[in-house]
Amino acid sequence: MDFSALQSTSKITDEWRYPDVAPRASGLLQVDRDPDHRLYWEEYGNPGGEPVFVLHGGPGGASSPVMARYFNPARYRIVLFDQRGCGKSIPTVAVNGPATALAKNTTAHLIADIERLREELGIEGKMHLFGGSWGSTLAMAYAIAHPNRCANLILRGIFLGAPEDLRFMYQGNAASFEEKPYALIEPGSYISYPEAWARFLAPIAPADRGDVMKAYKAIFDMNPTTDAERQRQLEAALAWSVWEGTISNMIPDESDEGKFGEAAFALSFAQIEAHYFANNLFMTPDHIIDNAATLAQIPIHIVHGRFDLICPLTQASRLVAALSESGSAPATFVITNAGHSAMERETALALTAIMDGLPAMDT
């Protein structure tokens, strides 16, 4: 039975307000040495327009030209870039290995990279930060460090990265899955995606499923010396990556895994995520919530899918409560009938409407 028409109803297609265009400039910016890290960046839109930095998800994802379509190209100077270790930045985990690409790869380094890129592009005043999922986390972490640089934060699929947030996505009923695969032992993403959950757990031996993230990290930390070990590592990376890609969509397209099923993307994506998650995102616990008073000084616009099972709506609700308690509720808080993906129709249209409706800023 062909469910492609049903699947397509949840994704934005011809409804984009702004066209898909080529970047007007791009480059590689050296941001570190020993090892060298160079960030790939692209610019779209009006070179004299309001600057907006687009922060992709993951950690370990990549930018894509489609991310420029949320913005009026006559109004905005749109900056896309790939964070350290992934996409077209150099080195990458997939090509150069984790020992090189994960060296000097922390949240503090990524915040510093945004500053370096801002300076390289000659952006002296304030800018908008637009980020989803991990991109929302990084945008808020940057804003806490540099509040005077931020005109607006436009955030989608809020990710706070607390231990319970990660357990919801990666642990669920894993410990008892072998004996009771359909038991609702704990809350988690697995409840709505049982077949995909089984595929995600397959690379992990039942005895190691008491801590699934730790078990995956052990596979990623191997220094493979045989084809069998390399294949095991690749299969684990693909399982990790495809799990996230599948549950990003309220109605997954089972016939097309997209970039999440590509070996090069998966090796970088999975290993960078595991690296950050094993280190508590390289932030103190509740860093974002504890600094809500700083964030509350900046206009914040939030779009979150009601059916998001990567970053459940409770994370956005927790942030909204913390901002309100600090004296300033978000300027916008839109809950869409969507899942996690920024490509779902209601979410994409809401984000575009917010960008169109922001008060003009001086450039």
Task: Render 87-124 in DSSP notation, one character per residue.
Answer: TTSBSBHHHH-HHHHTTT-SHHHHHHHHHHHHHHTT--
pLDDT at 3 over 50: no
What are the φ/ψ torsions at residue 88 (nearest 5 degrees)?
Answer: -95, 5
Cα 316–chain centre separation: 15
Q: Please indicate whether residue 253 is annotated as part of the active site.
A: no
pLDDT at 8 over 70: no
The Cβ of residue 143 has, within 10 Å, a number of other Cβ atoms equal to 24
Report the CATH architecture of 163-281. 3-Layer(aba) Sandwich (3.40)
What would the pLDDT profile of 132-159 be if each residue is shown by its tens digit? 999 999 999 999 999 999 999 999 999 9
The Cβ of residue 353 has, within 10 Å, a number of other Cβ atoms equal to 15
Measured distance between the N- and C-terminal CA atoms of the chain, rounded to whole angstroms: 53
Instruction: Point out the catalytic residue in the list 82, 113, 165, 308.
Output: 308
Helices first, then strands: H and E counts in the chain: 14, 8
Describe the strand order of the beta sheet including 300-305 as a list of residue ranges: 25-32, 37-45, 76-81, 50-55, 127-132, 150-156, 300-305, 332-336
Average pLDDT of the segment spanning 190-201: 97
Average pLDDT of the segment spanning 51-75: 97
Rounded CA separation 351/301 (Å): 9
Q: What is the pLDDT of residue 100?
A: 96
Instruction: Point out the catalytic residue in the list 165, 301, 340, 341.
Output: 340
The Cβ of residue 254 has, within 10 Å, a number of other Cβ atoms equal to 12
Residue type (1 letter), 190: Y
Handedness of CA 216, 244, 142, 162 (dihedral sign): negative
Q: What is the pLDDT of residue 1?
A: 41
Q: pLDDT band at 363, cuts 50/70/90?
A: low
Q: Which of 85-89, 212-216, 222-226, 335-339 has the lowest mean pLDDT?
A: 222-226
Rounded CA separation 116/254 (Å): 40
Taking alpha carbons only, the member of 250, 59, 81 closest to residue 141 is 59
Locate 344 and state its tokens.
Answer: 């779902």
Q: What is the pLDDT of residue 362?
A: 75
DSSP for residue 359: P
Q: Please indicate whether residue 133 is annotated as part of the active site.
A: yes
Q: Which of 6-10, 107-111, 208-212, 217-221 has the lowest mean pLDDT?
A: 6-10
Does residue 25 contact residue 43 with C-beta atoms inside 8 Å? yes
Vertex 294 angle, CA 288 and 299, to 5° = 100
Cα 281–chain centre separation: 12
Instruction: Point out the catalytic residue in the list 10, 63, 89, 133.
Output: 133
Q: Rounded mean pLDDT of the chain? A: 95
**Fold equal for 4-162+282-357 and 163-281:** yes
Q: Taking the domains of the chain in order of start, what are their residue ranges?
A: 4-162+282-357, 163-281
Rounded CA separation 349/357 (Å): 12
pLDDT at 71 over 70: yes
Q: What is the pLDDT of residue 5?
A: 52
Helices 227-247 and 194-201, interaxial angle, to 10°?
160
What would the pLDDT profile of 197-232 be if each residue is shown by its tens digit? 999 999 999 999 999 999 999 999 998 889 999 999
- What is the topology classification, in CATH, of domain 4-162+282-357? Rossmann fold (3.40.50)
Residue tagged 């009601």 (tokens) = 306
Rounded CA separation 194/97 (Å): 32
Average pLDDT of the segment spanning 316-323: 98
